[in-house]
Amino acid sequence: MKIKSNQLGFGTLEILLSLLVIGLIGLGGFLVYSRQQDEKNSQKLEQKISQLENENNNQQAEQQPVEEINDNEAILAAAGCKTAMNEGDECKIKEQKNNLALVTVGGDQGGINVILAKENGKWEIIYQYNGDISDEILQKYDIPEAWLGPSL
């Protein structure tokens, strides 16, 4: 058998092993890169989902009806009966017509009558029996004469 003492270059086996090692290193790098991209995409997707959920929750909160109190409670509250009741005074809705209400604060004997009007969904005092009522208010609200008391 003859031994070659002057070989130039690599043999076929060395080249194949080198290509295999380079290929494995490249494959490992590709897998690491693709996993990082998947994680970034996953994070972006989670952020987008979270953002959409927040927007949806905000829309639902805006769409949920606000708990409304009934007209009687609103009338008594606007007339100041919440505080009057705390002091032991009696409050009573004597009459209600359309968007007007007549309330007695402090009882039928010795109390005051208050006329309230509902404007833009809110009850407001337009007259208390403590003086003259303007013609403007009378015309605007068409208050029944029986509500105006003996002084007018």
118 and 133 together in one domain? yes
Q: Is position 5 within any domain? A: no
Domain interval for residue 25: 12-64
82 and 50 together in one domain? no
Return the exposure string of 116-125: e unless at least 16 CB atoms fall within 10 Å of the residue's CB, then b: bbbeeeebee
Q: How high is the pLDDT of residue 106?
A: 73
> pLDDT for 79-93, tens place per residue?
777 654 445 567 888
Show which of 22, 44, 64 is a domain's final residue.
64
H or E segment to which residue 62 belongs: helix 12-63
Q: Is position 135 within any domain? A: yes
Over residues 41-53, mean pLDDT: 89
83 and 130 together in one domain? yes
Closest residue by Cα to residue 84 from 45, 128, 51: 128
Pair of tokens at residue 12? 């076929």
Sheet holding 112-119, edge to edge: 91-97, 100-105, 112-119, 122-128
Neighbours of 146 (CB within 10 A): 8
pTM: 0.48
Question: β-pairing, 91-97 with 100-105?
Answer: antiparallel
Max mean pLDDT among 33-37, 85-89, 100-104, 130-134 falls in: 33-37
Over residues 16-32, mean pLDDT: 96
Q: Is position 103 within any domain? A: yes
* pLDDT above 80 (res 40): yes
Q: Is position 6 within any domain? A: no
Q: How many domains does the chain have?
A: 2
